[in-house]
Amino acid sequence: MRSVRSVVDRVGPTLLHTVSLPDADRPVGDVVIAEGHPHARVATGDLVLAVLGDSVETAVGLVHTCGANGAAAVLCKPRLAQDAEVRKAARSAGVGLIEVHADTSWAQLVWLLRTVLDAIADEAEATDDTQPEAADLFRLADAAASVVDAPVTIEDINSRVLAYSARQDLTDPARVSTIMDRRIPDDVLARFRSRGVFRELSKGRQTIYVPEQKDGTLPRLIVPVRMGGELLGSMWAVVDGPVSEERAAAFADAAPVVAVHLLRRRAHANTRRHANAELLRAVLEGRASPRRAAAELGLTDADHRVVAVATSRQQGEGDEELGAEGLRLALLERLSTGIGNQTRATEFGGLLYLVVPDGSGVGGWAALRETLATEPGCEQGWLRAAAGTAAPVGELARSRGEAEEALGLVRAGLVPGAVIGFDEVWTALALHRVATAAGGAGAVELGPLEVLAEHDRRQHSDYVDTLYAWLRHQGDPRATARELSIHPNTLRYRLRKLLSLTGLDLEDPETRLALIAQLITLRWS
């Protein structure tokens, strides 16, 4: 569904920030522009762009008009979106208020929003490699090359080649390798980095000229591609030497157009990623057709495991606290690199869920487990993971439930290790289930165990732990004393004291069984 939330999420925080959203699931119909007056023609479900300058009064009137006509949300630049009267009007009218980045072009935003709306409507047919904007980027590269009279590549922020112009045969070996590998080779990247090229890109300069290098690498004219203050990529031209200011400026003029295409590319990618995540979530909740899920998510007929991953907040560099959501996203990026693209992932309920093939093959559970175990978060205590048992696609909801149950034991410290499999900890799971059932039935409240617990609280003694260890070791004084790190004589003294307090008959087997059940409940529930 084309809801306000889905549109805002897919455009992303670079351009849009939600100020208030009383109905995030309200359907979106179209995008309209309200220029300079508060009584624009607005229909139900419209996203209304408030192109009003700085007039708070006009903005308030427009918000009330939008509320009366059932518009989905009003989009304002920061001056209006942050105004207290405008915010109050949005709450009163029951209409969403979205802040647009100050540097964003309204025309570009209209085009991008309509692209996103179209993409959401057609998301079932979305593909990774057949996007129409791919061909547009190649045409843009050719157009930019004709302006600067030099072969051009368009690259993303990770130096991956997205498109390139003709005439690449007139360049140098570094450019040829870049085209062949679809990214700048590491050694060439290191040379440009040592010359401060990427530092200059991050500073927002309009053009960057890099002279010829000693190894024969020809000069480069580089233009950063930005939108809303965010660096989206760059254009690289292999030139013969210094370029005139007029020609360099004309080359730079192509950057805003390229930026729109890169944002459109991101919107398509986000659309597919959101669709896959939603479908996988439905699979894990038992709401989706296994056949459809297998086809659309690319899952094979082999059994898969669901892996539940929990992250907690930690103190990051510069004393900045990293959120759990940010940790999950960063972790997913590293895992995708470490074990290949067979991983399917989604997140909900504060957990990251991964679905991987069972076994030791490439991208399988064994590889994922090894990768997770080497994550710094495992050692530092903020990353924990557990896998359910292997299951066909139609039974992944069961595997997810097992993963969550096992993860609960890991997070509670009831089993050793940071990454486990459900089938490896069956004894702990059995004890936990028994303890949970007994606790709900009030089993601990029966008999004299509470007398011992109260004595321990009042006198700081360890009679409950002593009794538990003695029963676990079937009355073996040496093994019990070793576990408690005390002398056997101390153990005997404690046993005499606790027996005198409670009057328990530890020779009676049923008494011992009842005590074991109660003590397990105390420790495992």
So what's the pLDDT on residue 370? 86
DSSP H stretches of helix in 182-318: 186-194, 197-203, 245-253, 255-284, 290-297
Q: Tell me the C-alpha distance between 26 and 7, whole Å.
A: 11
Place of tokens 């409507």: 121
So what's the pLDDT on residue 321? 39
Q: Which of 256, 272, 310, 248 is nearest to 126 (CA)?
A: 272
Same domain, 371 and 466: no
- 185 versus 271: the higher-pLDDT residue is 185
Query: Are the C-beta atoms of 200 and 182 separated by less than 8 Å?
Result: no
Q: Three-class SS string for 336-369?
A: HHHHCCCCEEEEECCEEEEEEECCCCCCCHHHHH
So what's the pLDDT on residue 222? 94
So what's the pLDDT on residue 122? 56
So what's the pLDDT on residue 311? 83
pLDDT band (50, 70, 90) for residue 316: very low
* Structural domain count of the chain: 4
Q: Which of 211, 244, 263 is the last residue of a domain?
A: 263
Q: Tell me the C-alpha distance between 193 and 479, whole Å.
A: 63
Same domain, 84 and 154: no
Same domain, 463 and 494: yes
Residue 225: C-alpha distances to residues 14, 152, 203 (Å)? 14, 14, 12
In a domain, 14, yes or no: yes
pLDDT band (50, 70, 90) for residue 188: confident
Q: What are the backbone angles phi and psi of residue 157, rounded to the nearest 5°?
A: -70, -10
So what's the pLDDT on residue 327? 62
Q: Is the pLDDT of residue 60 over 90?
A: yes
Q: Which of 424, 455, 478 is the last residue of a domain?
A: 424
Q: Is the pLDDT of residue 338 over 50?
A: no
The string of pLDDT tens digits covering residues 345-376 is 888 888 889 998 887 766 788 888 888 888 87
Same domain, 254 and 197: yes
Same domain, 365 and 450: no
> What residue numbers bound the domain in which 91 lies?
4-121
In a domain, 284, yes or no: no
The string of pLDDT tens digits covering residues 294-309 is 888 888 878 999 999 9
For residue 348, what is the domain's CATH number? Answer: 3.30.70.270
Q: Which of 129, 138, 193, 212 is nearest to 168 (CA)?
A: 138
Residue 130: C-alpha distances to residues 125, 269, 297, 336 (Å)? 10, 11, 17, 22
So what's the pLDDT on residue 146? 84
Q: Is the pLDDT of residue 208 over 70?
A: yes
Same domain, 138 and 224: yes
Q: Three-class SS string for 136-159?
A: HHHHHHHHHHHHHCCCEEEEECCC
In a domain, 40, yes or no: yes
Q: Which three-class secondary structure state does DSSP give residue 310?
A: strand
Contacts of 139 (CB under 8 A, 6+ apart): none
In a domain, 126, yes or no: no
Same domain, 23 and 77: yes
pLDDT band (50, 70, 90) for residue 317: very low
Place of tokens 């103190």: 315
The tokens for 402 are 């097992």
- 424 versus 127: the higher-pLDDT residue is 424
Same domain, 409 and 331: yes
Q: Which three-class secondary structure state does DSSP give residue 240?
A: coil
Place of tokens 């909801």: 397
Same domain, 320 and 418: yes
Q: Tell me the C-alpha distance between 435 and 444, whole Å.
A: 10
Q: Which of 121, 149, 178 is the last residue of a domain?
A: 121
In a domain, 111, yes or no: yes
Same domain, 136 and 259: yes
Q: Tell me the C-alpha distance between 335 and 339, whole Å.
A: 6
The string of pLDDT tens digits covering residues 259-287 is 888 887 777 766 777 788 888 889 999 99
Query: Are the C-beta atoms of 43 and 18 separated by less than 8 Å?
Result: no
In a domain, 153, yes or no: yes
Q: Tell me the C-alpha distance between 256 and 253, whole Å.
A: 7
The string of pLDDT tens digits covering residues 66-80 is 999 899 999 999 999
- Mean pLDDT of the 487-498 span: 90
The string of pLDDT tens digits covering residues 139-150 is 888 888 888 889
- 182 versus 161: the higher-pLDDT residue is 161
Query: What is the side-by-side order of every strand in the sheet holding 230-238?
Result: 161-164, 152-156, 230-238, 220-227, 208-210
The string of pLDDT tens digits covering residues 10-51 is 777 767 889 999 888 888 888 888 877 777 778 888 999 998
So what's the pLDDT on residue 315? 39
Q: Which amino acid is at 195?
A: R
Q: Tell me the C-alpha distance between 121 and 268, whole Å.
A: 11
- Mean pLDDT of the 442-456 span: 86
In a domain, 273, yes or no: no
CA dihedral over 120, 121, 124, 130, signed as positive or negative: negative
So what's the pLDDT on residue 135? 60
For residue 15, what is the domain's CATH number? Answer: 3.40.1390.20
In a domain, 443, yes or no: yes
- Mean pLDDT of the 464-490 span: 90
Same domain, 72 and 12: yes
Q: In percent, how much of the chain has pLDDT > 70?
A: 88
**Average per-residue pLDDT for the chain:** 83
The string of pLDDT tens digits covering residues 389-417 is 999 989 999 999 999 999 999 998 888 88
User: Would the pTM count as exceeding 0.85?
Assistant: no
Query: Are the C-beta atoms of 377 and 370 separated by less than 8 Å?
Result: no
So what's the pLDDT on residue 129? 44
Same domain, 252 and 212: yes
